[in-house]
Amino acid sequence: MKKFISTCLAFSLVMPGVTGNAAFAAESTPTDVPNAIPFTVTKETSVSPTNVHNNVYEMTSVTTSASSNTYQLENINIPTPLGMNYYKGYVYITQGNNGLSKVDVATQTVTKVVYGSPTSPIRTITADTDGTLYYVAPDKLNNEYSYIKKIKPSSLNQTLTTEQFLATSVDYAHIPASHISSIAMDKDNQLYISIDKGWDLDPGLLRWNNTSKTLTPVSEEASMITAITFDNQGNLYFKTPSPQSYYPYAAGIVKISAADLKGTLPVADEKLISYKQDVLRNEPYNGLLFLSDGTSYFSNGQSLKRVYPESRPIVTLEGYSDAVVQGDIYTDPGIRVIEDEKYSKFDIKVTYSFNGEFVPSLDTSKVGTYTIHYVAVNPAGTASLEKTREVTVKPTPSQLTDWYITGINSMDADSQNLYLTNYSYKDNPNYGLYKISLQTMQKTRLAAINDIGAVAVNASGDLFFTRYDMDNMIFKIEAKHLQSGKALTADQLMKLSRTYMPFTAKEASAAPLKINGLEFDKQGRLYAAVNVYGKTNVTSKIVRLTGNDWNKSTLVTELPVSSNDMDFSPAGDLYISTQELYTTWKKDTYKVTLQQLNTLPVLSDSLTKIPYTEGDKGIAFLTDGTGYVSRADDFEKRKQTLLKLNY
């Protein structure tokens, strides 16, 4: 379990009569929410106040009867709980005029930290990783400002009076804001404040920069926020009574993701997520809290309550139940555990069975059907219902069209092998440079490189290839470096490869030139399909490269669309796989005949367009005249990614 840790404790001291947190109240009703925590698993894993103005307690430590569930804070009787914060196994709870207490989560022991005061109530608290304590005090000379004060945790080894607490503190910041209802520190020790002025249109959620001494609005939510907090993933939550008709999220507890907090501020309304919707709005939210196990609580001035009731975790499968060819790498896409709104951390248990018997792992060297069993258990020990996924390990195919390989970018063949490039994405562990033997249909990984683009083989068996992030570059690796039977790493591949730059610096600077296709003709001349990226569209040109460094280019033809891959048929015709980008995304295949290649350049209007072949990237011809195209993105899961080309 990761713990949510914040460095400093921050309190708010509020002058008598200021009751901003209580100005708006809300009752929350559980609803389905759109946020969930994904887990990817691989085989390697696995109180009603009785005396509000009681200044001195008879005892500074009180032990309540611990529940069987350590995290049931609702069983603890603490007078007037307001602001809350979790820090290193303790929950600090402000109590207004009753001071400040802390609760040992493991033992549920309550310890008094600061005695109460009838004139200086403590309302809100936060913590960050240094353990330095921070709190808010009003500026008595200027009611538009507030002080942020700090005190070292070593000063709290014994219970202090409010006067001692104030005297030991020093100023940290002078913030141009009043009616501060809550404070929270993120993992980077940045201070966030919420403001509750009632129905005021000024921003109500802000981030303080203690270097520039400025406040930055975090969201466009108005200043009627009563509580804020972070969970242990760094997501920010705030309580607002804003009606749903004004915003894309509902009134209640709203979530801003950690990723959005690192982006441009304020975060747009459409990125905010309703974590808990309010219906009756008749109960105050004076504080919000996430424990290290993900349990969320709110305080209402009388007791602590869970934001959501206890429930069984709900598990759904990520990805698909799939098939893998014998000897291939298989990565389990895992499961998604829907937050049960009490917990956001779960223990994921994964087991495997094969032919009805449990086995230690999924072994792709053995043909057959495996079942992966998933169970999610929350910290209270409540388990989800089991979810299962079937994975079939198939024998090596007997023909190319039986291979299922997603992500094929480019293909080329000689008399012995079909070469292909396979790009990297989250569900594709089999990225890189490959060959498939045309005799045995055995697939061999030649190099594990995740951004490989085009590939072509010359008469000597040397491979020419490109990389997506390297414009105007072609690389060559000699056949002798690919005979070991062991896949090269990306670094090894590049160290053994020679680099060519076919276009001049002036040509390359005019617009990004991305080489998507490579092919050799029978005379050993290299052709390149080059995409030219303009401001509003992508066009392409096919060029013939000659010279010792392949730096002399002759224009073959120009196309108004992007080119993906190309190959010569046994008859000498050039076939080009294309796609229109940005508008129609239409895929077509163009043919330049052998006769047309004798007179260059060829006008695009004179090219032959082949009807849609269902392929979208690679194209290759075997020496027997059979043509193939690849379907890179098999969104429909048809289980066929290499298709014969009818031409």
The DSSP code for 480 is G
The count of other CB atoms within 10 Å of the CB of residue 611 is: 8
Query: Where in the chain is CATH 2.60.40.10?
Result: 314-394
What's residue 282's pLDDT? 57
Where do we find the tokens 């063949």? 413
pLDDT at 577: 93
Sheet of 205-209, strands arranged across: 180-185, 191-195, 205-209, 214-217
Contact (CB, 8 A) for 619 and 567: yes
Give one DSSP letter per residue of 38-66, joined into a string: EE---TT-----S-TT--S-S-SEEEPPP
Name 542's bridge partners. Answer: 529, 557
| Helix or strand holding residue 591 (H, E) | strand 587-592
Q: How far apart are CA 566 and CA 530, in angstroms?
A: 11
> What is the rounded CA–CA span in Å between residue 36 and residue 51?
42
pLDDT at 421: 94
Q: Are 301 and 93 in contact (CB under 8 A)?
A: no
Cβ partners under 8 Å of residue 10, min gap 6: 85, 124, 125, 126, 127, 133, 134, 135, 136, 148, 183, 185, 191
Average confidence (pLDDT) per 10 residues, the chain, 647 residues: 31 35 30 30 29 28 39 82 91 92 90 92 88 86 91 89 91 91 93 83 88 93 84 90 53 88 92 72 78 85 79 78 79 79 76 90 92 86 85 91 86 96 72 93 92 95 94 95 91 96 87 91 95 84 94 94 94 93 84 95 93 81 93 63 87
Fold of 20-28+49-306: Neuraminidase (2.120.10)
CATH classification code of 400-645: 2.120.10.30
Strands (E), 78-157: 84-87, 90-94, 100-104, 109-114, 133-138, 146-151
Q: Is 550 strand, coil or helix?
A: coil
Report yes or no: 60 and 161 within 8 Å, Cβ to Cβ.
no
Structure token digits, residue 352: 């495997």
Angstrom distance (rounded) from CA 333 to CA 316: 11
The reported pTM is: 0.52
Cα separation, 370 vs 364, in Å, equals 10
For the beta carbon of residue 133, count every other beta carbon within 10 angstroms: 28
Beta carbons of 361 and 292 less than 8 angstroms apart: no
Burial 464-489 (b: 16+ CB within 10 A, else e): bbbbbebbbbbbbbeeebbeeeebbe
Alpha-carbon distance of 174 to 194, in angstroms, equals 15
Listed in sequence order, the residues at least 6 apart from 608 whose beta carbon sits closer than 8 Å to its beta carbon are 590, 591, 593
The type of residue at 400 is: L
Helix ranges (H only) for 447-536 are 490-496, 505-510
- Dump the DSSP string for 370-386: EEEEEEEE-TTSPBPPP
- Residue given tokens 């998933």 in the structure block: 374
Query: Is residue 562 within 8 Å of residue 540, measured between CB atoms?
Result: yes
Contact yes or no for 396/437 (Cβ under 8 A): no
Q: Where in the chain is the domain with CATH 2.120.10.30?
A: 400-645
Q: Could you tell me which CATH class the domain 314-394 is placed in?
A: mainly beta
Question: From the CA atom positions of the chain, what is the Rg in Å?
Answer: 33
Answer positive or negative: Cα dihedral of 83, 87, 91, 97.
negative
Q: Minimal CA–CA distance to 231: which of 133, 312, 343?
A: 343
pLDDT at 580: 84
Question: Residue 563's pLDDT is what?
Answer: 93
The tokens of 543 are what?
A: 């060029």
